[in-house]
Each structure stands twice: as C-alpha cells, then as structure tokens.
Amino acid sequence: MFALSRRPRTAHTTLILALATALPSAAPAQELSRNAQELYVQLCAACHGRNLEGGSGGSLLEGGWFNAAGDDTQLEKIITQGLPEAGMPGFGDALDAPRVRALAVYLRERFVRAQERGTTFHRPAENVTVRSEAAAFRTETVVEGLNIPWSLAFLPGTSDMLIAERDGRLLLVRDGKLQPEPIAGTPRVVARGQGGLMVVQPHPDYAAPGNGWLYLAFSDPGPGDTTMTAIVRGRIRDGRWTDEQQIYRAAPEHYTRAGHHFGVRLVFDQGYLFFGIGDRGQQHEAQDLGRPNGKMHRIHDDGRIPDDNPFVGRPGALPTIWSYGHRNPQGIVARPGTTGESLQIWLTEHGPRGGDELNLVQRGANFGWPVVTHGINYSGTPVSAETSRPGMVDPVVFWTPSIAVCGLEFYTGDRFPGWKNNLFVGGLRQEEVRRVVLEGDRVKSQEVIFRGIGRVRTIHQGPDGLLYVGLETPGRVIRLVPAE
C-alpha cells in the first residue's frame, strides 16, 4: 500500500479516497501496479488466462479487438467500460488513463508476437531465392569480417565505398576489396553504449572539382567523460583524413554522460544539411527548445546557421532547430524528386517499448515526445496516457512491438522495378528489412522482405541500382540482387 495507509485516516484523506473511487480515473489507484504485465495479471488473467490464452473470457491472442491500423480507441473503451452484455467488467474506476494505455500496449505486443509465431520469415542467402510480393531476390556478401559497421557510403564518380565502424575506424573498399588499413587521422570518437562513428556521407557535389567533402557524425568526447553528437567534414588524401572542418558541435553544457540516443544521419538539400539528435535519455528535454537533444536541426552544409530557421529570434531557443519532440531519430532520408519548398524528409525514430515511428518531418513542428507516444517504458510502466494531441504531429505509422528501426532508404533504381519509390526500413532487434509502400503521404502497405540474418544497421541504394545492407551480427555488407 501507499504511504497514505500508514497515516491515520483523517476526514480529509477519507474524502480523497471516496472521490478516487467515485470518479473514474480521478486519481491513480495506489494498490495497482504501474507495470503493464503485472496489471494484466492483477486484473485480467483470472478470466483471460495468464498467457492471454483464454478462460471464462476469450483468448486475447485472436480477438476482434486488434486494430491493424493502430487505433486503440475501441480497446481502451472495452477496458474502461467493459462489455456488460458479454460479462466483461469495466475497469474505468480502478485504472487511470496511463495504466489503460500501458495495458493496451501490452496486449498489442502479445498479440503481434503470437501472430508472428505462426509465420515464417524469408531468410535469403547466396543460393536461397526469396520470392517476395513484388520482386524475387537473393543476397550476395560484399564485405565481411567487419566489426559492427554503422554506416556506408558510395563515393560519386568512383567505385569506392567507405564503411564506418562503430569503434571509429573508417574503411575503404576499392574495386570490391577491403583495404587493410583504415583511413588515418579520423576524429576520436567515444565508442560506448549507442555512441561511436555513426555516419560517413559524401557531399552531394562530392565529384565536382574542388569539392571532395566527406561528412562524419559521431559521439564527440567532451569535458569529464561526457559526449555529444558532433559533425565534421574533411577530405581523404593518400589514405589520410585531411582538411577537417567543424560543422556542428553543441555547447559544452549540452554534453552529457549518457551513452545513448545520439540520433544523426544526414540529408543534404540545396546547400542545407539536416540531421537529428536523440533525447540523450532526458525525455522532457525533447520539448525544450533551449536544448539540442530530441530535435531535428538544419544548418548550412558548411556549418553556418540559416537565418530563416523556424526558431531564429525566439528568446531561449536554439537557432539550428528545425523540428522537436523527437525521441531518437535513426533513419533520415529525402523523398526522391522533392527539394527546396517541396522537400520531404522521412524519418524513422525509436519509440520506447513499442511505438517506433515513421514521421514526415515538418518545419517548426512538435512531434510530441514524451508528451504523447504509442509506447511504454521498458519496465512496463506508462510514459503517457496520450497518443495524440492537437498541435503535435502524429506519426505516419508506428510499430508495436518495436522493430528498433534503423536504416532507411528510398529505392529509385531500375533493377527492382516492383520496388520503385518504396521505402526500405531496417530493424535492429527484429533483424528485418521492411518494404513500405507509400500512397501520397500515407502508408499503403508493408511487407517484411526478410528477417533473421543479422541486426540491420544501414540500407543504401548503390550506384548499380542494388540495395546494400549493413549488418552488425556478424559484421558484413550484403546486397540484394534480382533472382529468377
């Protein structure tokens, strides 16, 4: 019981207790757990079975309650109001809104996992052809023996490919062969937790005379064992990193000892550079415009700050911010054919437990974290009762359970005509690549094209029109090639 019970009951506390039971959701019911699974056991297992397999109430693993579009309104209504005709009691008096929300996420996780247990996923290999919905393919290994590759880049106008490993090594693959020595003199990175060398990416005009710029994003060491996302650019000459310029570095007071949620991935458009920084584990700071974490940023590609950014001139706001309320941006890509005013940046970001999101970034917009979310804490306790709020942008789609979204790429090549303009979403924990078909700005359909051959960190279309995938376990780069 809560501290209240140890004090003698005064008229005042009795009144509060009476109110709490009389008014649905007026106050959290202290004797109930905040952990979703424990709540389920406390309140639901007696009728629906400890494993949701059913009892006097039906199984919740096959129920009509599941809404594939992700709308939990009906489910939350069943939990609060019950189904009196069918003998299901309502729990609106006992449960506050965050707990109802946590139960909904828990049921959704269990339901999807149960559905998937009966499903087999494709596992492509050199000699295993996958016949997916819109193309047949197999995989080829391009480079193996890598130590956690986090990013790869094709250098325009050459056959060279660069691979960034988490521990900070920048590797060159020339004519299909991994060169034994890493590029010398790259910045020191803090390879700890989710930090390391996160991005290598060429400037879009890399091949133009005098350009040759390569951008690196990484966890930068700060004072007293702290780190923060930073971006530099430089050139490679004779196997060495040279001409380094600082492009983005946060103020020292924004460095933290947290080892997670660095965000990053870069989009270039018309001389601008967009990138994301995760909340660095400080959820509420994603709503604080005075802090760089939990934001998408826009700067010039040489690091200058544009004077037409949405929060320029607002007291206390950082002028680099483009949008906010992000938890941990991971995949960031421009939609092919959009630029300038029409530019569409698509963004995948990690939710907490459940609630991974695909977002369409909008200038100055608030994406809601942690005020609204479709997920719960890893411990099973609620983050928020709300999944949506006026003035905050909803995700285009969300995933519960989380797939741990990571790499993201639009396919525009000719080798897989059936995949043209589809979005490919990688998953770390689910070890999957998902093909997302868009219709306008909405998701029309999704297909998991394979699962279970390694944590998918990064996905890129190569100059040959094939899709290259960086896998962490074991560290390698594969490509998908058309098969008969």
CA distances from 279 to 264, 334, 348, 383, 398 (A): 11, 22, 14, 15, 19
13 sits near ligand HEC (criterion: CB under 6 A): no
Pick from 137, 139, 140: which is nearest to 482 by CA?
137
Closest CB to ligand HEC among residues 83, 207: 83
Buried b (16+ CB within 10 A) or exposed e, 74-110: ebbebbbeeeeeeebebbbebbbbbbbbbbbbbbbbb
The site that binds ligand HEC (CB under 6 A) totals a number of residues, namely 22
Stretch that binds ligand HEC, among 59-67, 195-203, 360-368, 457-465 (CB under 6 A): 59-67
341 residue type, one letter: E
What phi and psi values does residue 413 have, to the nearest 5 degrees?
-75, 180
CB 198 within 8 A of CB 180: no
CB 461 within 8 A of CB 412: yes
**48, 108, 138, 169: which one contacts ligand HEC (CB under 6 A)?**
48
Closest CB to ligand HEC among residues 49, 156: 49
Catalytic residue among 261, 326, 374, 460: 261
d(Cα 326, Cα 366) in Å, to the nearest integer? 8
91 sits near ligand HEC (criterion: CB under 6 A): yes
Closest CB to ligand HEC among residues 63, 156: 63
CB 106 within 8 A of CB 447: no
Pick from 193, 145, 196, 143: which is nearest to 167 by CA?
196
Q: Which of residues 276-335 bind ligand HEC (CB under 6 A)?
A: none
Token couple for 399: 């995933």
97 sits near ligand HEC (criterion: CB under 6 A): no
Helical pair 36-43 and 97-117, crossing angle rounded to 10 deg: 90
HSE, CB side, 13 Å, CA atoms: give it for residue 311. Answer: 23
61 sits near ligand HEC (criterion: CB under 6 A): no
23 sits near ligand HEC (criterion: CB under 6 A): no
41 sits near ligand HEC (criterion: CB under 6 A): no
Pick from 193, 181, 154, 133: which is nearest to 436 by CA?
133
83 sits near ligand HEC (criterion: CB under 6 A): yes
401 sits near ligand HEC (criterion: CB under 6 A): no
d(Cα 354, Cα 195) in Å, to the nearest integer? 22
87 sits near ligand HEC (criterion: CB under 6 A): yes
92 sits near ligand HEC (criterion: CB under 6 A): no
Closest CB to ligand HEC among residues 71, 464: 71
Closest CB to ligand HEC among residues 64, 440: 64
Stretch that binds ligand HEC, among 45-53, 212-220, 248-256, 351-359 (CB under 6 A): 45-53
Closest CB to ligand HEC among residues 54, 281: 54
Pick from 277, 272, 305: which is nearest to 204 by CA?
272
73 sits near ligand HEC (criterion: CB under 6 A): no
171 sits near ligand HEC (criterion: CB under 6 A): no
**44, 52, 318, 406: which one contacts ligand HEC (CB under 6 A)?**
44
17 residue type, one letter: L
Strands 177-178 and 197-202: unpaired
**Sheet strand arrangement including 170-174:** 149-154, 161-165, 170-174, 177-178
Closest CB to ligand HEC among residues 4, 41: 41
272 sits near ligand HEC (criterion: CB under 6 A): no
**52, 103, 236, 286: which one contacts ligand HEC (CB under 6 A)?**
103
Stretch that binds ligand HEC, among 58-66, 279-287, 313-321, 368-376 (CB under 6 A): 58-66
- To the query of whether residue 261 is one of the catalytic residues in this protein, the response is yes
Shortest spacing between CB 403 and ligand HEC, in angstroms: 24
Classify 299 as helix, strand or coil.
strand
Q: Which residues pair with 454 in a beta bridge?
A: none
d(Cα 345, Cα 338) in Å, to the nearest integer? 9
**86, 175, 209, 313: which one contacts ligand HEC (CB under 6 A)?**
86
Shortest spacing between CB 443 and ligand HEC, in angstroms: 25
63 sits near ligand HEC (criterion: CB under 6 A): yes
**Residues annotated as catalytic (active site), given as ranges:** 261
For ligand HEC, the binding residues (CB under 6 A) are 43-44, 46-48, 56-58, 60, 63-65, 75, 78-79, 83, 86-89, 91, 103
